[in-house]
Structure 1
Amino acid sequence: MLELRDIAIRHDDFSLTADLSLPKGGRFAVIGASGSGKSTLLSLIGGFLAPNQGRILWDGQDMTQMAPGDRPISTLFQHHNLFPHLTVKRNIGMGLRADLRLDTDQKDRVTQVLDQVGLSGTGDRRPAALSGGQQSRVALARVLLRARPVLLLDEPFAALGPALKSEMLSLLTGIADRTDATVLMVTHNPQDARVFSPQTILVEDGRAHPPRDTGPLLDNPPPGLRAYLG
């Protein structure tokens, strides 16, 4: 279980609080108006920001003071953080070792994960030679290879067209189901939340609210979310 206990972060005129318990294997959308704190919530969980108060736990272990790389968490950002000078295989291999000194077994795992995300035969290409959808698959492959139990996604498919986005959400759902990962996905698109996430965390009025069933929340949103969605 992922727990945020009495979490609060404050900076100038911005503040965000959270008191959440998210079961292992759950898929959650994170939705709210621009500037409400969605990305801040993910950064707190991922360790890129430190709270002013409270604790963050995974399976009962306090990870509030852990560095991002030491947490059982992978984060996928909108721009994927692919290295343009490295091949696809080496970009993915970074998920195992930053120095890329992979042994034979690790190289085989890179090849396997390329197959799993439908990128067989692209391992020696550079990111610039791939389509936007293929680059998204490379980023997902790196996350899959790390096999961390918590996956955070900050609008990773926002730049894709509707068809490619639907394809990537389907691929992500399959990965989450196979690995039993706990997934939090920031999105501005309510349809993405409906497709991917049985439950949704609303970030509004300086608070990350406990998750609610996605359909009823979006069918009858509170006034602030209704105004944002239009």
Structure 2
Amino acid sequence: MADGLHLDDITIGKDDETLIAIDARVAPGQVLSIMGPSGVGKSTLLAFLTGTLPPAFDATGHVRLDGRDLTGLPPEKRNLGILFQDDLLFPHLSVAGNLGFGLRGGSRAGRHAQVAAALDEVGLAGFGPRDPATLSGGQRARIALMRMLLARPDALLLDEAFSRLDSARRQATRRMVFDTARARGLPVVMVTHDPADAEAAQGPVIRLGDADPLRSNPT
């Protein structure tokens, strides 16, 4: 049974200084916004969640997803999808090749059908043979999202994922990501410095960067 993403008493520090202290739960389909200026440690939190935190940091606490403790697992076993501010599409692959990169198992025809359905879902039917370089920023963002979703993640992490888009594309892409997460019941942790992102998410907000690194709870 889906129980969401639990950030249980997480504390991250470096050189005897506490940078982040968070205790929160993100329900299925909910978006938790982590806000603060650059350099405050937002991406450091995501690194802890994905299991890629550099050894220079000290961290305690647990990450639990639908009752499963992810804390000691390697990144590839956590089944977390992440979107960055750069779409990171593979330039040597077609759009279809990018979408199919994470698909494993099944027949070739089945994988092709999944890719075609993904393109249709984001309004890009027929774009499979295209070179990613020919896509607009909004189209690239949609392909990056669907590539991640085809890997069937159990939760989504957004690292300033909308910051490179212009205002119109940002609103449309943001709406698509949030609507998809709600429809699929995926908990989302979004790192952002833009209050408009948090407002659109309509979920709890944790603000980092206060003078006192007190334990942060959703507001």
Partner deviation per Cα, 1:145-171 (whole Å, 9 max, x = no partner): 122120001011211110110110121
**AA aligned opposite 2:11:** A
Q: Give structure 1 regions of 4+ aligned residues with deviation exceeding 6 angstroms.
A: none
Would the alpha carbon gap of residues 14 and 90 (structure 1) be closer, same or farther in structure 2, given more than 3 Å must change?
Answer: farther
The question of whether the paired residues in 2 share the 8 Å contact of 1:113 and 1:141 is answered with yes
Q: Which secondary structure does the structure 2 equivalent of 1:52 belong to? A: strand
Q: What displacement does 1:113 show?
A: 0.6
Task: Render the CA deviation track for 1:91-118: whole Å, top value 9, x for unaligned.
Answer: 1112324xx9962212211110111111
Long gaps (5+) in structure 2:
none
Aligned to 1:28: 32
Report if aligned partners of 1:95, 1:145 keep a CA contact under 8 Å in 2: yes
Any residues of structure 2 matched to 1:205-220 within 5 Å, and which?
205=210, 206=213, 209-212=216-219
Q: Which moved more, 1:10-19 or 1:189-198?
A: 10-19
- Indicate how the Cα distance of structure 1 residues 175 and 55 shifts in structure 2: closer, same or farther if over 3 A, else same: same
Q: Contact 1:29–1:184 at 8 Å: present in 2 too? A: yes
Helix, strand or coil at the partner of 2:103:
coil
- Which residue matches 1:197? 202
State yes or no: 1:37 paired with 2:41. Answer: yes
TM, length-normalised to structure 2: 0.87
Contact 1:87 1:123 in 2 (8 A): yes
Counterpart residue number, 2:100: 93
Deviations 1:180-215 (A, max 9, x none): 110111121111211123221222344562211xxx
Say yes or no: does 1:143 pair with 2:144. Answer: no
Match of 1:8 in 2: 11
Q: What is the percentage of aligned positions where both structures have the same residue? A: 39
Q: Does 1:131 align with 2:136?
A: yes
* 2:51 aligned residue: 47
Partner of 1:178: 183
Which consecutive residues of structure 1, in runs of 5 or more, have no partner in the other structure?
213-230
Please give the alpha-carbon distance, in whole angstroms, between the structure 2 residues aligned to 1:208 and 1:91.
40
Q: Work out the number of aligned pairs and report it.
A: 210
Once residues 56 and 75 of structure 1 are traced to their aligned partners in structure 2, the CA distance between those partners, rounded to angstroms, is: 16
